[in-house]
Structure 1
C-alpha cells in the first residue's frame, strides 16, 4: 500500500467538502447529501481490497 491512496482519499474528501458546502449554500441540501454519499462509496471501493488483504495476512499469520 502506497501513500498515493492516502492522497487520493484526501483529494476526494476536499473536493466533496467544497462542493457540498456550495450545494448547501445554494439550497440544494439533498444533492449535497448524495454527493457526500457518492464520495464515501468511491473511497470504500478503493479501501476494500486493502482491508481484504489485511484480513488474509492476519489469517495466514495466526493459522496453525
Structure 2
C-alpha cells in the first residue's frame, strides 16, 4: 500500500464531508446520503485489491 492511496482516501473523506454538510444544510438530505454512499463505494473499490492480496498472502503462509 502506498502513501498516495492514504492521501487519496483522506481527500475523498474530506470532500465527502464538506459536500455532505453543504447538502444537509440546504435541505437535500437524500443527495447528501448519495454522496456519502458514492464516496464509500469509491474507497472500497480502491481497497479491495489490497484486501484480496492480504488474504492470498495469509492463505499461502498457512498453505491452505
Q: Same fold (TM over 0.5)?
A: yes
- Which residue of structure 2 aligns with residue 4 of structure 1? 4
- Which residue of structure 1 aligns with residue 24 of structure 2? 24
- Distance, in Å, in 2 between the alignment partners of 1:59 and 1:37 is 31
Count residues with an aligned counterpart.
64
1:56 Cα deviation after fit? 0.3
- Which residue of structure 1 aligns with residue 38 of structure 2? 38
Q: Give the unaligned 5+ runs of structure 2.
A: none
1:8 Cα deviation after fit? 0.5
Deviation per CA, 1:16-62, whole angstroms, max 9, x where unpaired?
Answer: 00000000000000000000000000000000000000000001111
Task: State the SS of the aligned residue for 2:6.
Answer: helix
Q: Give the unaligned 5+ runs of structure 1.
A: none
Deviating beyond 3 angstroms after TM superposition, the runs of 4 or more aligned structure 1 residues are: none
TM-score for both structures, normalised by structure 1: 0.97
- Which residue of structure 1 aligns with residue 55 of structure 2? 55
TM-score for both structures, normalised by structure 2: 0.97
